[in-house]
Amino acid sequence: MSDIGFVRTEMLPEKDPPASEVGVIGWVRHNLFSSWLNAILTVLSIGAIYYVLSGVLPWIFQSVWNADSLSECREIMKGTWESTHGHACWGVIRERWLQLLFGFYPNHLYWRPILALVLLLAALSPILFSDKVSSKMLILTAAYPFIMPFLMWGGTIWGPVCAALGFVIGFLIIKHAAAAIGELWAMIAGVAAALIWWFILAGPVAGALSSVLPIGIEAVQSRQFGGFMLAIMLGVVAIGVSLPIGIVLALGRQSDLIIVKYICVGFIEFIRGVPLITLLFVASLLLNIFLPPGTNFDIILRVMIMMTLFSAAYMAEVIRGGLAALPRGQYEGADSLGLNYWQAQRLIIMPQALKISIPGIVSTFIGIFKDTTLVSIIGLFDVIGLASAIRADTAWNGIYWELFAFIAVLFFVVCFSMSRYSMYLERKLKTDHR
């Protein structure tokens, strides 16, 4: 017999994978029931989730919104569900949500903090999404630190203008004097000139311009600030200013200049060894003792300074960790290219150190933003302080969970957004392609 061979001339069509390997069923099988241990943990987790949601969801959705007091809430609950247990009274949020957001800020001026928030998002967009937003928006980014105080506090426009002129003066001196006296001395001269302008000349110049051209908007006192608006304002200032100060402190701690190094080390270790609430009490009660008689140092500005310094000390250690993680070859590579110290830091060292430090930096940002609630202890009516004031009202005396749940949602939205952006930035800057 002769062997008979057969060669197929057409391709077989592809078959669909088994239904148990793809789609929802495949995902569940591989992620939730891949082994008997995972199956047990999945069942226990589903039971725990059901137990929690069976109590939380009715509390949220079977609730009262149209009541003007806690007693009225309870009457409606008894009439509808025959029990006050397991039902929320959201009437307090419906009645006081504006106060929780804006504090005692004048009602007819709510457009100003709202506009400040919109401009904040616009000012951050060229920094957070540089590849998707026009670089021309950086003009707004540079101007926002002077626009925000003007919108929030109001008054004459010449105060923010004179404050901005201080930066212009310092920049021009650094730019034109660097070639003549060196970068370091030019930087010192520029900073000194800006400080002289701010502390000695800016006030009289702003007063003179205001008397000649009284341009401004209605002034708002700091005691009227409060609510979640105050938390955002304190958090934004502390986050935005602490990062550059932290970079300078981290570089100073690694400096070969002994005096600079020990000043930075002493500052960082002192601030990190003292609780933030102690610094806030210093800002609130003790700082005026060391100021000249009659000095009016705004309480919110004092709190901003203390929170910024506190955050900067922790930021310095986070960035120092990023600098320490860089291999020595990066420094040697910068030297081999003939770069000076500042060029090496700006072009090679610091970008890599900041990339390594992204999780720690964002964690510090989130921590300082949540720490803004501590200002309620020194008498500022942030969102926590207002919650206590609302509960002191006889109409809402005894209500707790609804207020704190609303506050928790506000903070969660902001902190979760920062966390998600951190993950987006890490993916964007990822270079190992693993």
For residue 255, the model assigns a pLDDT of 83
Cα separation of 77 and 94, whole Å?
17
Is it true that domain 220-387+409-434 has CATH number 1.10.3720.10? yes
For residue 293, the model assigns a pLDDT of 66
Query: Which tokens sit at 309?
Result: 């310094």
Q: 95 phi and psi, to 5 degrees?
A: -85, -35
What does the domain layout of the chain look like in residue ranges?
27-61, 155-217, 220-387+409-434
The reported pTM is 0.84
Question: What are the DSSP calls for 92-140, one per residue?
Answer: HHHHHHHHHHHTT--GGGTHHHHHHHHHHHHHHHHHHTTTTS-GGGHHH
Which residues are within 8 A (CB) of 366 and not within 5 positions of it... i.e. 6 or more apart?
A: 415, 418, 419
For residue 331, the model assigns a pLDDT of 78
For residue 128, the model assigns a pLDDT of 84
Tens-digit pLDDT profile for the chain (434 aa)? 556 666 777 777 877 777 667 778 888 888 888 888 889 999 999 999 999 998 888 888 888 888 888 899 989 988 888 888 888 899 999 999 999 999 899 999 999 999 999 999 999 888 888 777 777 788 888 899 999 999 999 888 888 888 889 888 888 888 877 777 777 778 888 888 888 888 888 888 888 888 888 888 989 998 899 899 999 999 999 999 999 999 999 988 888 888 888 999 999 999 999 898 888 888 887 777 766 666 677 888 888 989 999 999 999 999 998 888 888 888 778 778 878 777 888 888 888 888 888 889 999 999 999 999 998 888 888 899 899 889 888 888 888 889 999 999 999 999 999 999 988 888 887 766 55
For residue 3, the model assigns a pLDDT of 61
For residue 397, the model assigns a pLDDT of 86
Q: What sign results for the dihedral spanned by CA atoms 72, 73, 74, 79?
A: positive
Query: Which tokens sit at 386?
Result: 């207002």
Which residues are within 8 A (CB) of 228 and not within 5 positions of it... i.e. 6 or more apart?
A: 100, 101, 382, 383, 407, 410
pLDDT digits (tens, 9 = 90+) for 297-338: 788 888 898 999 999 999 999 999 888 888 888 877 877 887
Q: Which residues of 93-110 are buried (b: 16+ CB within 10 A; e: fewer)?
A: bebbeebbbbbbbeeebe
